[in-house]
Amino acid sequence: MEEKKTRKKRRNPMENISTHLAGPVEKDSRVIQAELALRRNLRAGSWGTYMPGIRALATTFGVSPATMVKAVDRVRSDGWISNSTARQRFTIHRDVILRHKGKDAMLRTLLLLAPKTGRNETTSSASQVLLHLWELLAPKGWNIRFHIDDYSNGKRRQKQWDELVAHEKPQAVIAILGTPAMAAWARDTKIPTIFCGGAIGEYSVPMVAFSSGKMLEMAMDRLLALGHKQISTMLADRSPEYCQSVQKRIEQKLSNAGVPFIKERHTPTSEIGGVNAFIKSLETTFEQQNTTALICLEWREYLAALCFVQQKGWKVPEDISMICLSSDHAADWLHPVPTHFRLPVITMCEILADWIEDVNLHSNFTLFESLSGKWEEGATIGPVSETTSIP
């Protein structure tokens, strides 16, 4: 019997990449993956004066020539390489590469997020920030390491953060919803750290945040203009400083409209997080007053409030008006379409990326960028009339 021939296993072309350049590559387009691998090899000096041609590179990185052309064009636009004609080999400009990124072979950003519990679970906005940051920084040689850490309670976690930094060896840190304890730790460790929202307390840490205060005031103005006076904003699982800030803004708006401010009615608070505590706050609020409008700070709180209203048999906006100070890609799928704010996530990510890229800004602890969302009219607010009352 003739022995069956075994097919020779095809060699993986990605084995040609230096092992010290290996690292996790996020799932994205093949062009970005090829570009990132190309930049790593150029920065590490894998080639001498000249870089191989398109077909050789495509074979090396395991992509199509068309994909490699796009990746090479991106690198060439930064001046790292050049060629006079399509058939000419690429000249490597080592001086440009070093000027552009310094002498580090790989810079990494450690991105910390709150745990998936309570108010700080990974929201769609946080996921969008992570995605856009990777798209902006990965092609420039940054390896974004995403970790979920339990720092939402505000307590200092020196040991855990030290261990995390010792393992990842980051050149910069972005903390989503940072805390004063984390701000103190960042200043002690001298690691460039910027907050994406949160609270810094008495410490000076660069921060980029969405201004819920500005959006809240705009929402109050719209509702007051429609005749609403009994407006409630749930403040479940928020810091005392944040609650005081929100209460002060709402009190001022109501005072200007001649409406007495009652904290327990207009801004009920709860130290306990989670949907059950939020619903309980809603129940208590509607027992105390004939609320005609609700302002929800977050998208999931809006959804919980909407379910609560619908279960009671009330109509939006005929019986109660609703506004959300956040947004979600699924907002347009609801009926009626929520009146909300569209957050400038891309703008925030561009500011963060610029800060990460410019080492001169790392010592600028006065940086504070406050961004406001864009008003989306929606169909969940209406004027107060004789029929606008909770049955």
| Greatest mean pLDDT among 31-35, 51-55, 382-386 | 51-55
Give the containing element (helix H, strand E) for 168: helix 158-168
Cis peptide before 317 (omega within 30 of 0): yes
| Greatest mean pLDDT among 5-9, 143-147, 307-311 | 307-311
Q: Tell me the per-residue pLDDT of 312-327, one tens digit each, with 9 for 90 and over.
A: 999 999 999 999 998 8
> Can you give the residue ranges of every domain in the chain?
13-101, 107-205, 212-342
- Would you say 71 and 38 are in contact if contact means Cβ atoms under 8 Å apart? yes
Q: How far lies 263's CA from each of 211, 229, 254, 285, in Å?
A: 22, 14, 11, 11
Q: Are strands 90-92 and 81-82 parallel, antiparallel or unpaired?
A: antiparallel
CATH topology of domain 107-205: Rossmann fold (3.40.50)
Give the pLDDT score at 13. Answer: 35
- Retrieve residue 85's tokens: 């004609």
Q: Within a 10 A sphere around the Cβ of 4, how many other Cβ atoms?
A: 6
Q: Tell me the per-residue pLDDT of 230-247, one tens digit each, with 9 for 90 and over.
A: 999 998 878 788 889 899
pTM for the model? 0.67
Compare 215 and 356 and report the one with higher pLDDT: 215
Is the per-residue pLDDT at 391 higher than 60? Answer: no
| Range scoring the smallest mean pLDDT among 66-80, 166-180, 206-220 | 166-180
* Direct distance between the N- and C-terminal alpha carbons of the chain, in angstroms, rounded to an integer: 88
Is the per-residue pLDDT at 376 higher than 80? Answer: yes
| Greatest mean pLDDT among 60-74, 109-123, 135-149, 292-306 | 292-306
Is the per-residue pLDDT at 370 higher than 80? Answer: yes
Q: How far lies 388's CA from each of 40, 163, 185, 340, 385, in Å?
A: 63, 56, 51, 21, 5
Distance separating alpha carbons of residues 59 and 68, to the nearest angstrom: 9
Side-chain half-sphere exposure of 178, counting CA atoms within 13 A: 27
Residue at token pair 């030290």:
162
Domains 107-205 and 212-342 share a fold: yes
- Retrieve residue 54's tokens: 């398109």
Give the pLDDT score at 255. Answer: 94
Give the pLDDT score at 220. Answer: 96
Residues with Cβ < 8 Å from 119, sequence gap 6 or more? 152, 236, 237, 238, 273, 298
Q: Tell me the per-residue pLDDT of 155-191, one tens digit each, with 9 for 90 and over.
A: 667 788 888 878 777 778 888 888 888 888 888 887 8
- Retrieve residue 309's tokens: 């209203």
- Would you say 58 and 72 are in contact if contact means Cβ atoms under 8 Å apart? no
Give the pLDDT score at 260. Answer: 93
| Range scoring the smallest mean pLDDT among 135-144, 177-186, 323-332 | 135-144
Give the pLDDT score at 152. Answer: 63
For the chain, what is the mean pLDDT?
79
- CATH placement of domain 13-101: 1.10.10.10
Q: Tell me the per-residue pLDDT of 33-51, one tens digit each, with 9 for 90 and over.
A: 788 788 878 877 778 888 9
DSSP string spanning 107-143? EEEEEEE--SSGGGS--HHHHHHHHHHHHHHGGGTEE
The distance of Cα 326 from the centroid of its chain, to the nearest Å, equals 13
Distance separating alpha carbons of residues 43 and 97, to the nearest angstrom: 7
CATH classification (class only), 212-342: alpha beta
Distance separating alpha carbons of residues 320 and 315, to the nearest angstrom: 7
